[in-house]
Amino acid sequence: MKYIGFIYGDFCMLQTFLSTIIEFFSFIESLCFLVFFAVVILKPPIAVTVLNFYYLIKIPKEERAKKISLISAILTITVGLFDTYFYLGVCCDVTSADWNKPIYNFQLHTPISSEHLPVIIVLAVFSVIAYFILYAVKVDKTPPLVTVILIAFVYIGMILAILWTIQITSLDLIDFFILAVYPFNLVLIGVGLIRQKLIEYKEFIVENGLRNENLGKLYMKLMNVAKMPIYAFIFVFPIIGAVICILLLFGQRPDSIIQAWTQTSDWTFSMEQAPPNLYYDGHYLCTVAAGGHKKVVKPQREGIRHGHRVLVNRQLCVANAFEQLLEDKTPRFHRAVRRFYDKYGFPAAKLIKTSFAADIVYIIMKPLEWIFLAVLYMFDADPERRIAVQYLPEKDRESLLYAIDSGVRVWKNEIKNYD
């Protein structure tokens, strides 16, 4: 069995080589991330926030100032959305999985239920469209009721921004403040535009002397600048109701706008209790099995490792069965190899941070998997039995072994159904 040990030693040396390559690319990735974070993530939000504050206090009246405020609003909405999505995925490890879907280690479920997300998206899109329409219209050529409805849509966007801010208060303080910059700026540009239009209406009324009772009571009420924001807020509720009624035709529920925030886990408004996260604790191939794309690494079932639930695939079971065989046949050599692996293999596993990296390692490890399998078939009387029981709890392992020993060939189906 000595040459088996040498094969396993070569396996560990290959892992060391891979870890060096991965560490180099990880360094390049980290460097690029720092530059990207400084240039794209931090600098624009700071500059845009300052501009939004400035144009909230000082209403832009000159054409040049209006263009700058418009560019600032566009950057706020677009770049802010991209930065938020990027930061959630990379820095906070937030996934798109709903509360009842399995996630791994310290990942978080989606903060908005994907089932009810269409309602939020539609309201957000309408709010953005209404914002730019309200920005473009001239007060002297726009009916006051249209202005009130447009302001109501802008209110809806601001309400969504506030709800989002409350939803993410469960994050760490630093992450929360970074992510709160985006909704804070959305509220800033919303309030700034509403204030700008109210001032324009007030100037229009003063210049044209519209305080004439002959214009009609309803018209005079709508042209009352002081009460226009109140009328717009009243319109918020029927507008949301109308949007929900339309979305009912596409399978949404009447309470979708509430369920979108509450049918989640890990967040402030969450009312669901998610199952415990699956765990991969740094084992090289455990990381690959759980972190790679399913079509590539082909995860088969859940298992137990060091008291944690892990996701296992065929490659992981074969490698662990081979190590178990090595431990049975040459325990002293196995201990030496194990120490070598613990020193270099586990740190290398921490460098596999993306699904793409896990896929590459899986493909590179495929020839070694075949060698391990060949050795198992050469030195083990029932290699598939040894492979099948890897990472299974004792109660399931015993029942499977009993079925195998009794000649009942149903154990493969039991393994497939094991969750």
Residues 200 and 320 in one domain: no
Assigned domain for 272 exists: no
pLDDT in tens, 143-179: 878 888 899 999 999 999 999 999 999 888 888 988 9
Residues 64 and 48 in one domain: no
Residues 302 and 203 in one domain: no
Evaluate if residue 68 carries a pLDDT over 60: yes
pLDDT of res. 156: 94
Assigned domain for 270 exists: no
Interhelix angle 366-379/2-36, rounded to 10 degrees, is 160
Evaluate if residue 218 carries a pLDDT over 80: no
Q: How far apart are CA 331 and CA 246, in angstroms?
A: 69
Mean pLDDT of 305-332: 79
Mean pLDDT of 243-270: 85
Assigned domain for 268 exists: no
Please say which residue of 262, 292, 309 terminates a domain.
262
Give the CA count within 13 Å in the CB-facing half-sphere of 31: 6
Residues 137 and 19 in one domain: no
Assigned domain for 271 exists: no
Residue 204's Cα: distance from chain center in Å? 47
Residues 234 and 99 in one domain: yes
Range of 87-96, 165-174, 288-297 with top mean pLDDT:
165-174
Residues 233 and 256 in one domain: yes
What 3-state DSSP class applies to 147?
Answer: helix
pLDDT of res. 110: 92
CB 292 within 8 Å of CB 358: yes
pLDDT in tens, 267-278: 999 998 887 776
Please say which residue of 210, 238, 262 terminates a domain.
262
**pTM of the shown model:** 0.63
Please say which residue of 262, 288, 323 terminates a domain.
262
Assigned domain for 269 exists: no
Residues 150 and 128 in one domain: yes
Residues 53 and 63 in one domain: no
Residues 120 and 73 in one domain: yes
pLDDT of res. 358: 75
Q: Which helix (H) or strand (E) element contains residue 232? A: helix 228-248
Assigned domain for 334 exists: yes
Residues 253 and 365 in one domain: no
Assigned domain for 398 exists: yes
Q: Tally the domains of the chain.
A: 2
Residues 415 and 369 in one domain: yes
Residues 130 and 204 in one domain: yes
Q: How far apart are CA 50 and CA 309, in angstroms?
A: 48
CB 305 within 8 Å of CB 281: yes
194, 317, 344, 400, 411 from 395: Cα distances, Å:
66, 18, 33, 9, 14
Q: How far apart are CA 323 and CA 327, in angstroms?
A: 6
Residue numbers of the domain that contains 378? 1-57+278-419
Assigned domain for 200 exists: yes
Count helices and strands (H / E) in the chain. Answer: 18, 2
Q: Compute the Cα dihedral for 301, 307, 308, 310 and give only its sign.
A: negative
